[in-house]
Structure 1
Amino acid sequence: MKKTIIISAIALCISFVSVNAKTDNSTIKNYDVEAFFKVNSFCVSIAKGDLETVQKLISRGADVNERSNGMTPVMYAAKFNRVDILNLLIENGANLKIKSDKKMTAADYAELHGASDALAIIEKATAKKKKK
């Protein structure tokens, strides 16, 4: 039984080698592959919860309302329930009323992903702005 399995495996390997041995280079096509989703490093840092990097990027002039893959930084913070980062973005002028390409606000993303802490912060911040 062992000999049969070993012989079968060797035969299979040889058949793969012989099938792939002859290649006509004139039929090979080069395809440019591009990522479908492009998220900037600022929003990736937010999604990962890297508060220190987010603070550095803001201090270096990162736009807290710039869209990345159709979403603003506060939407990423809300989606991933990054409370400290969400507070930092709000303090630095993030607009909570902007809608994504999917017509959703940061509050909608927080609610959709069950980020109750982020949703509470967003509701509190929008209530303060309404009073002013």
Structure 2
Amino acid sequence: MKKSISMLLLICVLACVGTYAKTTSSKIVDVTSVSLKDKINDLCKASMQGDVDQVRSLIALGEKVNEKSLGLTPAMYAARYNKAEVLKVLILNGANLDIKSDKGYTAKEYAEMSNAKDVLEVINASL
């Protein structure tokens, strides 16, 4: 499971950031790569993994429930990966479901695109 999540995270990072290489005579002239600042934050990672206890702990330590990481809020990660219990905790701690990602989607829209039925029930009940 950790390997799958790590691979998915790597693919997501590469898709979001991309790599640019300019070549001249088959020599690499310029390469832009993923920097350390592009790392997903702990609350978003725990939300994506469905780790309710870790989400609660991070919130208790002062993590901001509406802070974006790689363009998505923790609620968007929970919605995309159908982590209903995590989303409930985030909502109880002030998660704003109306925030849009850097691509212009809300948590509800991520849930719809992912066919995350459990999360959609939580979102609809909170409206």
Do these two structures clear the TM 0.5 threshold for a shared fold by scoring above it?
yes
* Alignment match, 1:56: 57
State how far apart, in whole Å, the 2-side matches of 1:32 and 1:97 are: 33
State how far apart, in whole Å, the 2-side matches of 1:90 and 1:49 are: 14
State how far apart, in whole Å, the 2-side matches of 1:33 and 1:111 are: 32
TM-score (norm 1): 0.68
Deviation, 1:33, is 3.8
State how far apart, in whole Å, the 1-side matches of 2:71 and 2:101 are: 5
TM-superposition CA deviations, 1:94-124 (whole Å, max 9, x none)? 0011111111000000000010110111111
Structure 1 residues 32 and 106: alpha-carbon distance in aligned structure 2, compared to 1, 3 A threshold? closer
The aligned length equals 100
Indicate the percent of aligned positions where both proteins have the same amino acid. Answer: 44
TM-score (norm 2): 0.71
* CA RMSD between the two structures: 2.3
State how far apart, in whole Å, the 2-side matches of 1:117 and 1:34 are: 34
Structure 1 residues 60 and 32: alpha-carbon distance in aligned structure 2, compared to 1, 3 A threshold? same
Asked whether 1:97 is paired with 2:98, we answer: yes
Structure 1 gap ranges (5+)? 1-26, 127-132
| Structure with bigger gyration radius | 1
Structure whose residues are more often helix by fraction: 1
State how far apart, in whole Å, the 1-side matches of 2:94 and 2:76 are: 14
State how far apart, in whole Å, the 2-side matches of 1:32 and 1:106 are: 30
* Alignment match, 1:72: 73
State how far apart, in whole Å, the 2-side matches of 1:78 and 1:110 are: 5
Deviation, 1:32, is 7.0
Structure whose residues are more often strand by fraction: 2
Structure 2 gap ranges (5+)? 1-26
* Alignment match, 2:20: none
